[in-house]
Structure 1
């Protein structure tokens, strides 16, 4: 425990240096808000650690595996679970980190994910939006379920960090190439199939976004992402057991049916295999709700899911399609990543507990689209009022003459 306290002090000091750098780079950066977020996320790290002490937790297995006798660091290099073991290996075996220190380290990765999420939102959307009489950005940064599933040793924290680093870096890929590369690597090695969705979303965004981008740059970005997909193809297919398959669609259907059937047998399982697609998506995005909440944690999550649902209602308007058509790269990329990830995961998820954890990986992309849509509406209203005011002033001047 003393080691974890020493590590906490060290990470807090490192955080202040990081914040100072962002403060110099971005005039909008709120060090006070981010420090509050630091301790808020730390609270959930303590909550998760306490929960893991008295309940089964994958974090214990993630701590044990890198300590297998006879295994070298390079033996763990790979994708998915193996890559988490690869990341953990030097901290456990070279630096002597105990279980508490590893939990704190990964919780810190999750916190950095929120920092990059804040930068991603704030840099692209400078307009303040209020919903339910609360600052929307502050509300999104402090959603408890998002913090709970990114505050422990496992895949949740580093994949969230990778996704938010990538999203932030994409606005200025040339100067943020290191952040973009590191984010891409984390996404690919932890969840190769999510890298597929991110790549497709990026290509779609660059080809159809409203920004004036030269043809050469579009071709360069598209070529890089396509090359990345070609190189990652075998790994992505292997993750779903489709490597060497002659009929990928049929094999995926078989895989998803098997996976869904296995998960539906748990205590919090739901038989999603028989659901129509709209209900599958609704289940993934907004359940559990109060009527099917699995335990006390499920009830808490139900309140948060209700917020998701109310926010989602705000884009169910006839002008949303035209907004998407005219939207920038960041919006189209976010919507594509969110929808493709949701579509794929709904076919293999049939357990509300796993759904709660998995969707924390992609929900911020939906929130970004909603936030941008509301900000665009507010901006259009402001500009309309300004034009009316200017026209009125000009009319009064004309009458005076």
Structure 2
């Protein structure tokens, strides 16, 4: 490890001032423990792929010479970023795992901050059990490697956190969209459309506020749609073009499915596979069993949101940022299910869903806890 890796570790520690909403009630042990787990995950991931294939090799070694061509969005941007840093600062393969893990950890920090603010606005302190959601293995593992997952997790966490006070955090949301555009423009488009829908369905906003926010969101979506078109040769305004794009995706990924493929499966099967596979019976090895345990918790989270549908709809109707979180999570589930082809892809990509999903789950719990703590007035 060189100074580049040390810089990556320091970059993660610099998230400390942003981790706590209430300085009086901060829990530094959660921050420290989460960061130790995250750095350890980066090291484990690094040694794990020494005997397995990974996109990290493509980003670090650039075997196909992408760096010699103009910058493109998505994979091309991550390659250019990694190669630019290598050309100017050097650094080993492990060093860049430590650099990228810092991005993923900042996403975890803003998710932690979101939990704290949810409970704080209800006059409560987040219980330690809520913080355990920050230690889901997949969140740490998949956001600790060189690639697109770490910056995307950061961007989705930022977008959810910024929605809690959008007027004050508009620049934060803009930064989140910018990161999404660089890494996966179509995710940025979903975020902008989710914002537009959340604004349009706001029962509290005055007409001119709703129209203004809706116009800004749609204008942003139009700009991002242009980026999607240039990046993927996809006209998002044309159902035929979108259909052709999904067909191309199926043809490309059909040859990559492997033993855990669900090529040709119905949409409901793809949704279930994306969210809950592997599930013990199809788990392979220790990592598969760990993922299966995590999926049990994800099933509990989604089951709770569905079981408490009245509370879910009430929160979505009355709280702007939760409406955005719900719409964005649902949009991601639909899109990722459409392009899902095997368990490995699902495990990685569903981490984008976690910030919105876990924030909504925390809000449901916080409201329930706040109601239980209210003093009851007895009738004389």
What secondary structure is seen at the aligned counterpart in 1 of 2:112? helix
- Offset of 1:186 from its aligned partner? 0.4
What secondary structure is seen at the aligned counterpart in 1 of 2:31? helix
- Offset of 1:61 from its aligned partner? 0.9
Matched, 1:48 2:35: no
Q: Check conservation: 1:59, 1:153, Cα contact below 8 A.
A: yes
Equivalent residue for 1:34, pick from 31, 56, 64: 31
Greater Cα shift, 286-295 or 24-33? 24-33
Aligned residue runs from structure 1 range 1-400, under 5 A: 1-3=1-3, 6-7=6-7, 10-11=10-11, 15-16=13-14, 18-20=15-17, 27-65=24-62, 68=65, 71=68, 75-76=70-71, 78-126=72-120, 127=124, 135-209=128-202, 212-237=204-229, 241-243=233-235, 247-259=240-252, 261-264=254-257, 266-271=258-263, 273-275=264-266, 277-315=267-305, 316-320=307-311, 322-383=313-374, 386=375, 389-392=376-379, 395=380
Q: Measured at CA, do residues 377 and 192 of structure 1 come closer, stay the same or move farther in structure 2, by a change above 3 Å? A: same
What secondary structure is seen at the aligned counterpart in 2 of 1:152? coil
Instruction: Choose between structure 1 and 2 for higher RCO, CA contacts under 8 A separated by at least 6 residues.
Output: 2
Q: Measured at CA, do residues 261 and 309 of structure 1 come closer, stay the same or move farther in structure 2, by a change above 3 Å? A: same
Relative to the length of structure 2, the TM-score reads 0.88
- Offset of 1:337 from its aligned partner? 1.0
Q: Check conservation: 1:259, 1:348, Cα contact below 8 A.
A: no
Q: Check conservation: 2:20, 2:113, Cα contact below 8 A.
A: no
* CA offset digits 1:379-399 (Å, max 9, x no partner): 23334xx2xx3233xx1xxxx
What secondary structure is seen at the aligned counterpart in 2 of 1:391? coil
What secondary structure is seen at the aligned counterpart in 1 of 2:260? coil
Q: Measured at CA, do residues 259 and 342 of structure 1 come closer, stay the same or move farther in structure 2, by a change above 3 Å? A: farther
Q: Check conservation: 1:66, 1:89, Cα contact below 8 A.
A: no
Q: Measured at CA, do residues 122 and 69 of structure 1 come closer, stay the same or move farther in structure 2, by a change above 3 Å? A: closer
What secondary structure is seen at the aligned counterpart in 2 of 1:314? helix
* CA offset digits 1:217-243 (Å, max 9, x no partner): 333322222111112223324555534
Query: CA separation in 2, counterparts of 1:6 and 1:70?
Result: 25
Q: Measured at CA, do residues 347 and 260 of structure 1 come closer, stay the same or move farther in structure 2, by a change above 3 Å? A: farther
Q: Measured at CA, do residues 322 and 176 of structure 1 come closer, stay the same or move farther in structure 2, by a change above 3 Å? A: closer
What secondary structure is seen at the aligned counterpart in 1 of 2:68? coil
Query: CA separation in 2, counterparts of 1:253 and 1:55?
Result: 29
Structure 1 segments unaligned to the other structure (5+ residues): 396-401
Structure 2 segments unaligned to the other structure (5+ residues): none
Query: CA separation in 1, counterparts of 2:27 and 2:330?
Result: 31
Query: CA separation in 1, counterparts of 2:206 and 2:66?
Result: 54
What secondary structure is seen at the aligned counterpart in 2 of 1:267? helix
- Offset of 1:318 from its aligned partner? 4.8
Query: CA separation in 1, counterparts of 2:284 and 2:36?
Result: 28
Root mean square deviation, CA, Å: 2.8
Larger radius of gyration: 1
- Offset of 1:166 from its aligned partner? 1.9
- Offset of 1:39 from its aligned partner? 0.9
What secondary structure is seen at the aligned counterpart in 1 of 2:339? coil
